Structure 1
């Protein structure tokens, strides 16, 4: 029998880590599969390669260092991507985050000149934000400048599209001259499965449980979360501050295990580690917290909102795209533990306000951020990009 895949347009995701693909890009991949595309991903394979392959997605193991520049390592990464493009011959390349965007776009120019490229900026990362202190380092500023200069050149081509998750990032790219306004698209995240994350009633209280879910990074505001816990403890509040997640040694802003153990020993936070049952986490929480320095569209708050939990977050790009101050949660200044503690304390003391904010959060997700709505938007974008008559036809398999 003929291989029907030979006539299907091919989509290649370029993502740094297999766990990140499963956690954040899988709804997009499923939307592509549902519209008849053949899908592959170039990523570092750790523990999740088989789970991805089981979905009918081809996996190319592509090791890469996420942080910083390593001339030899980055050259090897570029060469691997060129080889994958020549082997898989995609019509569409979807690069996610800084290093895949840089080298994936360059590889496309060198080895897949006819293919279309979508560069997905999932928040602008540590090259463009505070690195966990009050100022970005000279090295970080220099790398950010080099990256932006390279992107200005690589993203001018008419087949290169930009994909952002919030208006702040779209405005930033426009100010920096990266991409073209007519080829810059906004889709807020990957959506949330409303059946997997149903609206649930609050658990009994006291204590009130204020929960932060995510990688334990300084740039996620984990330090401010612990300091807010210290302030609330000093006030004698019966509020349990809970961290759900793990350090990320591959990220230079990671919080160390020793620091977490210190906070736990001081009675400031409970640490649940990594959990797969995030719906159960939010069912057992009263308040969702994310004091991040910058986001794309934060998945943890999206899932908390679907679960009808009030949101406390920082007034920064990404977070303010989801949290409307005084409607579904509270916004506070970034890197301000006192303001964070005050917002948590306010919601902890007012159950009626928590429930009102939680209901509004759920309604917002139902209206515009469900997985079904975002999946349809992704399919429309892929269809628009692939409709370019100058794109090459899907090659036949030999």
Structure 2
């Protein structure tokens, strides 16, 4: 069977879908991949080429609205599919799902699979001004695409239910829930805790407001009033998203001593291994991959009681759940690890257990492959 996988970020093909691609190849399928800017990502191209995956560049922007640009991308996707003649198209993230699924329908691809990995800028936050317009437009486009999908994957039940309540997901749509993108528990092996003091917290995320970066910085400021030796680390790239935090603001936080910013890291494992506790105060996720990686490496988690995030934490067992958009409860949760010297190790061991039992990437991929009838 010929399978075409469409992404918005080239590196995600190896980082997030690598194990799935390898499973499909092992099963004897021919795999093709497409993403905007893929030919410029030499590392991803090499990874795909080494495995015999044919790859294509898509003229699709990750963010922003351009009617003519997106229509050109739709036609380009359709032409590509008519050349490849795939039996199944799997698309994930907003633009590949919308334009990829519609293109697959136009190209008469038999199986058209959408993977909803989160709601994104359009649906997180208050629907006001520009965001309200974008939400309305994206909802309409999603509705058109998902009515042409033969299968829709969701990574948490809240996203599925909201899509239904908003009228985006057809009543008769075939839907399967999966536990995120999974995590390779061998590659992200349990790591020994670093010595303390100081206690080190870590947040890995694209530098967006909706990831709770501001709340993390505010909580760090509160912690430092009593515990100035505590380190709060931040890893992640500047983003082009309308919700992005500007680099000058990050440098202001750094200069004030609230956080230590490391920029984007191609391999986050050393950062996780150097930390004691992982923090993600996100407003909403599909299922946060960074949390799964930290859990797999045996780190306690502090995250929000929000869709996608709450599923990763058994409150009081492998970490703590805190309210969305509130820095003070976040700071108090962080402080609990300062008052109990054994808590980090106990909760870290539970995180590893949950990662192995629930989020192992091979288990997640087996569910997806079975649902796609491959």
Say whether the fold is shared (TM-score over 0.5). Answer: yes
Equivalence for 1:245: 236
Which of residues 59, 63, 69 is equivalent to 1:67? Answer: 63
1:176 aligns with 2:166: yes
Give distance in 1, aligned partners of 2:89 and 2:151. 10
| Two-structure CA RMSD over aligned residues (Å) | 1.7
Equivalence for 2:120: 125
Equivalence for 1:4: none
Which of residues 5, 18, 22 is equivalent to 1:13? Answer: 5
User: How many angstroms does 1:76 deviate by?
Assistant: 1.3
1:357 aligns with 2:352: no
1:145 aligns with 2:136: yes
Cα displacement string for residues 217-254 of structure 1 (whole angstroms, at most 9, x for unaligned residues): 21111111111111111223421000112112x32222
Which of residues 201, 208, 224 is equivalent to 1:210? Answer: 201
Give distance in 1, aligned partners of 2:261 and 2:142. 39
- Secondary structure in structure 2 of the residue aligned to 1:321: helix
Structure 2 vs 1, CA of residues 71 and 183 (structure 1 numbering), >3 Å: closer, same or farther?
A: same
Which of residues 184, 188, 192 is equivalent to 2:183? Answer: 192
Given that residues 152 and 173 in structure 2 are in contact (C-alpha distance below 8 angstroms), is that contact kept between their aligned partners in structure 1? no
Query: Aligned ranges for residues 1-398 of structure 1 at < 5 Å?
Result: 9-44=1-36, 45=38, 46-47=40-41, 48-111=44-107, 113-130=108-125, 135-157=126-148, 160-177=150-167, 178-180=169-171, 183-248=174-239, 250-382=240-372, 384=373
Structure 2 vs 1, CA of residues 181 and 368 (structure 1 numbering), >3 Å: closer, same or farther?
A: farther
User: How many angstroms does 1:104 deviate by?
Assistant: 1.0
Give distance in 2, aligned partners of 1:236 and 1:354. 17
User: How many angstroms does 1:378 deviate by?
Assistant: 2.3
User: How many angstroms does 1:279 deviate by?
Assistant: 2.2
- Secondary structure in structure 2 of the residue aligned to 1:40: strand
Moved more, 346-355 or 220-229: 346-355
Q: Give the gaps of 5 or more residues in structure 1.
A: 1-8, 387-398
Given that residues 288 and 308 in structure 2 are in contact (C-alpha distance below 8 angstroms), is that contact kept between their aligned partners in structure 1? yes
Q: Give the gaps of 5 or more residues in structure 2.
A: none
Given that residues 150 and 173 in structure 2 are in contact (C-alpha distance below 8 angstroms), is that contact kept between their aligned partners in structure 1? no
Given that residues 3 and 88 in structure 2 are in contact (C-alpha distance below 8 angstroms), is that contact kept between their aligned partners in structure 1? yes
Given that residues 89 and 109 in structure 2 are in contact (C-alpha distance below 8 angstroms), is that contact kept between their aligned partners in structure 1? no
Cα displacement string for residues 29-64 of structure 1 (whole angstroms, at most 9, x for unaligned residues): 222212221111111113232332222211111132
User: How many angstroms does 1:182 deviate by?
Assistant: 5.8
Query: What TM-score does the superposition give when structure 1 sets the normalisation length?
Result: 0.88
Structure 2 vs 1, CA of residues 64 and 262 (structure 1 numbering), >3 Å: closer, same or farther?
A: same
By relative contact order (CA 8 Å, sep 6+), the higher-ranking structure is 1
Number of aligned residues: 369
Cα displacement string for residues 240-289 of structure 1 (whole angstroms, at most 9, x for unaligned residues): 000112112x3222222211111111111111222233222222111000
Give distance in 2, aligned partners of 1:345 and 1:353. 11
- Secondary structure in structure 2 of the residue aligned to 1:340: helix
